[in-house]
Each structure stands twice: as C-alpha cells, then as structure tokens.
C-alpha cells in the first residue's frame, strides 16, 4: 500500500514531513503552482493532476490522505472510482468547504496581513514558530495560487454525492479546528458507506503538523 499525502491551500508537500518519516514509502507531491510547474484553479483540475501522478508513478493500493483542499481532491478522485484507490483519509476537510468572504477579500486586498491572520487560525496553539512556518509557506506559493486554492475550496460541494463513496474513509479533525470544525468530519463519516470520524484533542486545522504522533497513530490504526 502507498500513502499519497495531498497538502492544502497555500502549502506544499513539506507540511507532511513527519508523516513521510512515519510511513516509509509514502509520497507527498507538490500540487501544480505550489513549487511545481503550472497551476490549477479547481478541485477537478487538481484531481486530474493526482490521477496523472498515480499513473506515472505506477502506484497501486493507494490511500489518499488529504488536508483541507487536499481532502476535497481525495474525495474528487474517489468519486471518479479510480481503480488504484483503496481508502482515503481526510485531515481537517469535508464535503463542502465554504470560505468566509472576509478571507477571500483579505487575500485579494492585503495578502501579507491575511497570511498572518490565517496562520494564527491554523493551529490550536499558534506558537511564533508555527505561525512563521505557515506564513513562509503561503509566501512561497504566492498570492495568486493561494487565492485560487481558497476559491477552489469555496466552490467545492459534493455533499449530495457522499453516498457514492464506497471506499473506507477516515475523517480526522483537530478538536480546535476553526476552518473545518469536528462536525464536518462527523457528518461526512455518517454519510459515506464506510466512514469513521476521529477527533484529535489539542489540535487545529494542521492537525498532522501540530499533533503528528496522534495523527500518525490514528492513520496506522485505520490502515490496519
């Protein structure tokens, strides 16, 4: 089995550094426009990239593990019935990810300020080091693609199609996630055919970075 980690808006695969160590052989590619050539503006376009990546790398028995935007991409690919998939893990994600208009407008009007505000919202405990990491990641990706990421999230809604997802699904969310509160995981897990919700205490939206040991243990238990 191969774990394929998909990062969220304004980040790169580096955000899964502790998962790549915990799960040897796993991969975390950079999405188009995130330190990788090209760009994308919709979840469907990102889904195309992930399917091409799976095909080019000849991956089989794949578990897609997506954070936020990455989770919507995992759901998109699962709904396409890609034969390489075996299960999906959603980390701070959901079937519908509406973004507050103030965030979208903030990214357009004052990218630097909005990056700092977002970075503080991404953690249960926004230490200076964590905030600095998140701000640097969004600056690396840049304003155009970061805004495109959030707009892609805002347009995504597969709530009415969740019953079509036949793969096992782990919906894992931080207890203090301000972007996708625990109810997102609980609702989703209850609507797919084989879903399980898991809430990690003392964790925010970047649950895998803030509480890596607990997140890795939950993923390992799900896979077993």
If the chain, 224 residues long, is cut into consecutive pieces of 10 residues, what is the mean pLDDT of each piece?
Answer: 97 98 97 89 97 97 98 98 97 96 97 97 98 98 97 97 97 97 94 97 98 98 96
Q: How far apart are CA 217 and CA 29, in angstroms?
A: 22
pTM: 0.97
Give pLDDT, residue 75. Answer: 98
Give pLDDT, residue 37. Answer: 78
Q: How far apart are CA 26 and CA 5, in angstroms?
A: 8
| Rg of the chain taking only CA atoms, in angstroms | 16
Best CA proximity match to 169, nearest among 106, 95, 60, 101:
95
C-alpha distances in Å from residue 43, one per residue of 76, 134, 183: 7, 22, 22
Q: What three-state secondary structure class fits 179?
A: coil
> Domain 2-223's class?
alpha beta
What residues does each domain of the chain span?
2-223
Token pair 């609702």 in the structure block, residue: 187
Best CA proximity match to 216, nearest among 9, 17, 28:
17
Q: How far apart are CA 17 and CA 108, in angstroms?
A: 29
């Amino acid at each position: 089995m191969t774990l394929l980690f998909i990062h969220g808006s304004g980040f790169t695969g580096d955000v899964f550094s502790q998962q790549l160590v915990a799960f040897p052989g796993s991969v975390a590619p950079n999405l188009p426009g995130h330190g990788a050539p090209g760009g994308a503006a919709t979840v469907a376009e990102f889904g195309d990239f992930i399917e091409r990546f799976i095909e080019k790398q000849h991956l089989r028995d794949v578990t897609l593990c997506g954070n936020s935007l990455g989770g919507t991409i995992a759901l998109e690919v699962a709904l396409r019935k890609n034969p390489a998939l075996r299960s999906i893990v959603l980390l701070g994600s959901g079937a519908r990810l509406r973004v507050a208009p103030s965030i979208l407008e903030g990214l357009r009007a004052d990218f630097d300020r909005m990056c700092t505000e977002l970075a503080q919202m991404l953690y249960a405990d926004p230490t200076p080091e964590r905030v600095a990491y998140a701000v640097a990641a969004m600056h690396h990706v840049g304003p155009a693609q970061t805004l495109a990421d959030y707009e892609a999230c805002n347009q995504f809604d597969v709530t009415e199609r969740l019953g079509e997802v036949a793969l096992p699904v782990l919906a894992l969310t931080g207890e203090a996630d301000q972007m996708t509160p625990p109810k997102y995981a609980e609702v989703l897990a209850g609507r797919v055919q084989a879903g399980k919700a898991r809430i990690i205490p003392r964790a925010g939206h970047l649950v895998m970075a803030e509480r890596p040991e607990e997140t890795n243990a939950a993923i390992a238990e799900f896979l077993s």
